[in-house]
Amino acid sequence: MSERNIRDLEEGIERDLSGLNYGSYLQLDLLLSAQQPVSDNHDEMLFIIQHHVTELWIKLVIHELSAAMRFIADDQLGPSLKCLARIKHIQHQMTEQWSVLATLTPSEYLKFRGSLGKASGFQSVQYRLLEFLLGNKNRSMLEVFAHDLQAQERLRAALEAPSLYDEFIMLLSRRGYAVPPELLTRSWDEPHVLNSGLVAVFATVYENPKEHWDIYETCEELVDVEDTFQSWRFRHLKTVERIIGARKGTGGSSGTSFLKRALDLTFFPELYAVRTELT
């Protein structure tokens, strides 16, 4: 007689799940009912879940990034570094999941692409908010969200407030570093532009890391965040290229050409420029 291949429930395991339980705490009825394909194509479920998961990860990145910015504004670099480290790992997850969407072949995608209408990831409020928090400011993007005044105001608030990098630069000034004054009085709704004076500040830090350790460590964490973000952008580009080639995007963009231009954007230009200046 074969052995029983059954694991008995332990005595202490809860059997009365009335009240707060796993499903109700996570609101799984709501979460798992959100996947509503608009076609009868099998592969559309993959497409929806991929984007739902990405939006959830972006929500967590925004949560951590906002906390990091508050910590930096309060001169608490230690807790901010923990948030930035967590963001890196979230971004790795976001990047790796492109390999799942890449299993969608061009012929499979074309069977339901027409059902998507003009829906596009370009229209993600959370993604745009994330870009603004990281410093890629663009006031014209507010027009895209004129249909949703609440989202538009949320974006406007982030557009007109200091970015993560701005908060770090202001901390440097409070610490006594020779930050060029124009970086402290500029309009926050404009993207940061490479400043040679700030490169010189970072050169001082990188040439004597032991004397400036927490600043040095923060610089490297910021580079990690940008590096992993660019890796995500690149994998996005290559996945789109693999699935639709040079076709236009559903939202009207040029598709891969539009995504390629994003790879030229940088959030923290001085942290890359300083590497060339070190002697």
Per-residue model confidence as pLDDT tens digits over 52-85: 999 999 999 999 999 999 999 999 999 999 999 9
Check pLDDT > 70 for residue 249. yes
The rounded distance, in Å, linking the Cα atoms of 50 and 240 is 13
Is the per-residue pLDDT at 256 higher than 80? yes
Residue 2 binned pLDDT confidence (cut-offs 50, 70, 90): low
Q: Which candidate, 32, 153, 44, places its Cα nearest to that of 101?
A: 44
What is the spatial distance between Cα 206 and Cα 278, in angstroms, rounded to a whole number?
Answer: 8
**pLDDT over 80 (residue 3):** no
Provide the token pair at 34. Answer: 């959100």
* 3-state SS, residue 76: coil
pLDDT > 80? residue 103: yes
Classify residue 240 by its DSSP letter: H
DSSP state for residue 3 in the 8-state scheme? P
CATH 3.30.70.260 fits domain 42-244+253-276: no
- Position 101: which residue type? L
* Residue 13 among known ligand-binding residues: no
Q: Where are the domains of the chain?
A: 42-244+253-276
Q: Is 50 annotated as a binding residue?
A: yes
Is 267 assigned a ligand-binding role in the annotation?
no
Residue 62 assigned to a binding site:
no
Q: Give the type of residue at 197.
A: G
pLDDT for the residue numbered 244: 87
Write phi, then psi, for 184 (nearest 5 degrees).
Answer: -95, -15
Say whether 58 counts as a known binding-site residue. Answer: no
∠ CA 107-108-112, rounded to 5° = 110
Residue 47 assigned as binding residue: yes
**Contacts of 12 by beta carbon, 8 Å cutoff, 6+ apart:** none
Percent of all residues in the chain with a pLDDT value above 90, rounded to a whole number: 84
Task: Please check if 123 is assigned to a binding site.
Answer: no
Q: Residue 247: which pLDDT band, with cuts at 50, 70 and 90?
A: confident
For residue 246, the model assigns a pLDDT of: 81
**Nearest-angstrom CA–CA distance, 57 and 167:** 23
Nearest Cα residue to 260 out of 271, 274, 249, 276: 249
Structure tokens at 245: 């080639």
What is the rounded average pLDDT of the residues 259-267?
Answer: 86
First to last CA, the chain: 76
Q: Is the pTM of this model over 0.85?
A: yes
Which range has the worst mean pLDDT, 27-36, 114-123, 155-164?
114-123
Q: What is d(CA 193, CA 73) in angstroms, rounded to the nearest whole number?
A: 21
Higher pLDDT, residue 9 or 124: 124
51 is an annotated ligand-binding site residue? yes
pLDDT at 263: 84
Determine contact, residues 83/64, Cβ cutoff 8 Å.
yes
Which of 8-12, 114-118, 137-141 shows the lowest mean pLDDT across its residues?
8-12
- The string of pLDDT tens digits covering residues 190-243 is 999 999 999 999 999 999 999 999 999 999 999 999 999 999 999 999 999 999
CA–CA dist 84, 79 (Å, integer): 9
Give the DSSP letter of residue 5.
Answer: -
Torsion-angle region of residue 176: left (phi > 0), alpha (psi -120 to 50) or beta?
left
Neighbouring C-beta atoms of residue 186, cutoff 10 Å: 16
* Mean per-residue pLDDT over the chain, rounded: 94
Determine if residue 236 is labeled as part of a ligand binding site: yes
* Assigned token pair, 149: 């005044």
Q: Is the pLDDT of residue 1 over 70?
A: no
Query: Among 30-44, 77-91, 99-113, 243-257, which stretch is predicted with the lowest mean pLDDT?
Result: 243-257
